[in-house]
Structure 1
Amino acid sequence: MTVVTKSLRTEVENEKKLHGYTDAQFKQVTGVSVEQLNYPRSITFDQLDGIAMFFGQARGWLYDVYLEECLSDEERLASKRYQVGSHLFSQGMIKESIPFFRHTIQSKSMVDEEQFAISHYRLFETLITVGGLEANRETVFDLEKHYDRLPRGMQLDATLKLTNVFYTFEDWKKVEWYADELRTLANSIYQEFIENLSNTPIQAERPLVVYYGQGFLLKGIALTKQEQHEEAKMYFTECSNLGWFKFLDDDGKKEVDKFRAIAKANMLLLELETGNIDVLSALVEYLEGYPHRTLPIMLSAVQAANKRNLNIDELLLRFKESLNNLNTVEHYISSKQLFIYFCEKAKYSLRKKEVSSHVDELLQALEVAKRMKYFTGFEMCVAAIKKTIDALSEDQKERYKQLLGVKNE
């Protein structure tokens, strides 16, 4: 019995015969000679992708063959799989990179500490993008153990994302903790620049001032949620006054202006949190100037109204359509905010004995939960709707059945 071993050369030769290409045509388009295929370590991932495109194959078609042929021991194989995962991730092939990062993590003793930490971070990014946070909480907790071993620019991004994740989980103590970590790390990097200890640009996704400002902003929000209003004001004040920050380019200056505006909104919401409805007109004016902030501001407003038994009908009516139009958002954190908003709005309507609106809003929340695969939220909405099942109109009953996947007989 003959065992057929795959190699880059044999795979390419088979495809050439199938399509009728010559060696010269192959080299002209891919930049790789047929002879070079006998020495696969000289070939880059970009060239592998070019070969795949030449034959009409998907990117990554030759990766497994390449790895098996190039590497003879487990340690080098683990390191190369990390490189493949990183390449796929950089090319936007998020889902395809997952098994390569998983393999790196499983080969902990065979890769260096930085590759191991980056693999956890990339897996966190890919899984919350592909599968959502609820299904991948364990990935979040794994990253918590390793994020401080990341390169510092990447550590800034990881810390900010972890803070936002725990914001979504409504774990305000964790938000506080990571907001402090974010501010401390950003300040440490800033001080090194000030003291000329480093002039190497950080490899982060956003300007340094963003991480420093977000540390103040998210700390203030976490304190607000725990009703520590006076302490929260101090952090919002700091967030609004970042013009002193040095080394600001045009993008950095724009971020400083954004923080000033966001801090103003949070100061208004703090007033509403304490029962001051005189700020409603100022909130309307703010949202008309910053419509992209409608969801988080309206969520905080309706939560404050429910907590303090306030009447904010005019505000809710003014931005009702804007929020309904957001019902197709795909980003997990925004979807979770929208889900909570409809749940809070349903409570508000029930408090005012507007049962039909209460049901409509629960159905909207149910739809968002279904789309984002937030199963706990889905079950919560179903339980709430069952309490008012007799009050559902025929249209509401029909929509409810559709969301449950119940077919009419």
Structure 2
Amino acid sequence: MAELTKKQFREWAAANRYLYQILAGKIDVLDEYVEYLSARENEILRGMFKLIKAANTHNMNIDYVLERFKMKISSHMFIQDRVGSYTDQIIDDRFAIFLMDVGDYYLNSDRARVGIQFLLDSLAISAKINNDACMVRVFCTFDSIRHLATNEELHRYTTLLKEVRKTR
């Protein structure tokens, strides 16, 4: 049992080393960290939450990472209807923020179509789990890029706003 605990702490230490380096802007360890995450299915989302923050802070291109874990991100989108534990609520809050951050990532790289979709997904989840801070962030961001939205995106946004009003 003690050896198993030591092994777990060594793994956490390795992950934290990668994260601290990436959060400091050292992109040279990104590939190693992505491989580390790939081998640990339960850590992918948590790792992505931090990775997108680093990408936005240091203007890193992580397109290939988002593409690699696209299915993991998408699959989490479809399990939002479950009622979960306190830990699930924390993950869902972080996931809503993550989607907003991914939206920012794409908007900052002039890919409005993809960015707006992530913003709207973030708003949908934020409304469902009552994450007011994330909703306000989406509102502010969407308002600043509204002129880039298609009619379908504007319609979805308006529909989501109506849902938010109903629950308040």
Residues 333 and 256 of structure 1, relative CA distance in 2, 3 Å threshold: farther
Gaps of 5+ in 2: 164-168
Question: Which structure has the larger Rg?
Answer: 1
Which residue of the other structure, out of 75, 94, 111, is the alignment partner of 1:354?
A: 111
Conserved 8 A contact 1:342-1:361: yes
**Size of the alignment, in residue pairs?**
156
CA contact (8 A) 1:280 1:315 kept: no
1:92-146 Cα distance to aligned partner (Å, 9 max, x none): xxxxxxxxxxxxxxxxxxxxxxxxxxxxxxxxxxxxxxxxxxxxxxxxxxxxxxx
- Measure, in 2, the Cα distance between the counterparts of 1:289 and 1:324: 19
Task: For CA contacts below 8 A with separation 6 or more, give which structure has more relative contact order.
Answer: 2
The answer to whether the Cα contact below 8 Å between 1:294 and 1:323 also exists between their aligned partners in 2 is: no
Matched, 1:265 2:22: no
Amino acid at match of 1:378: M
- Contact 1:369-1:378 within 8 A present in 2 as well: yes
Aligned match of 1:291 = 41
Alignment of 1:8-27 (within 5 A): none
The aligned counterpart of 1:313 is 63
Amino acid in structure 2 at the alignment position of 1:384: T
Taking the TM superposition and a 5 Å limit, the aligned residue runs for 1:52-71 are: none
Q: Say yes or no: does 1:333 pair with 2:81.
A: no
- Supply the distance in 1 between the matched residues of 2:31 and 2:122 (Cα, whole angstroms): 27
| Counterparts of 1:374 and 1:314, CA distance in 2 | 29
Q: What CA distance in whole angstroms lies between the structure 2 residues aligned with 1:349 and 1:380?
A: 16
Deviation at 1:278, TM superposition (A): 1.6
Matched, 1:405 2:155: no
Query: What's 2:131 paired with?
Result: 374
Residues 194-213 of structure 1: per-residue CA shift (max 9 Å, x gap): xxxxxxxxxxxxxxxxxxxx
- CA RMSD, aligned part only? 1.9
1:394 to 151, 154, 158: 151
- The runs of 5 or more residues in structure 1 that have no matched partner are 1-248
- What are the equivalent positions in structure 2 for 1:70-81 lying under 5 Å apart? none
What's the offset of the Cα at 1:253?
4.6
TM-score by length of 1: 0.36
CA change 1:376–1:271 in 2 (3 A) is closer
TM-score (norm: length of structure 2): 0.82
Q: 3-state SS of the aligned residue for 2:76?
A: coil
Other-structure match for 2:166 = none
Deviation at 1:260, TM superposition (A): 2.1
Identity in percent: 25
Structure holding more helix per residue? 2
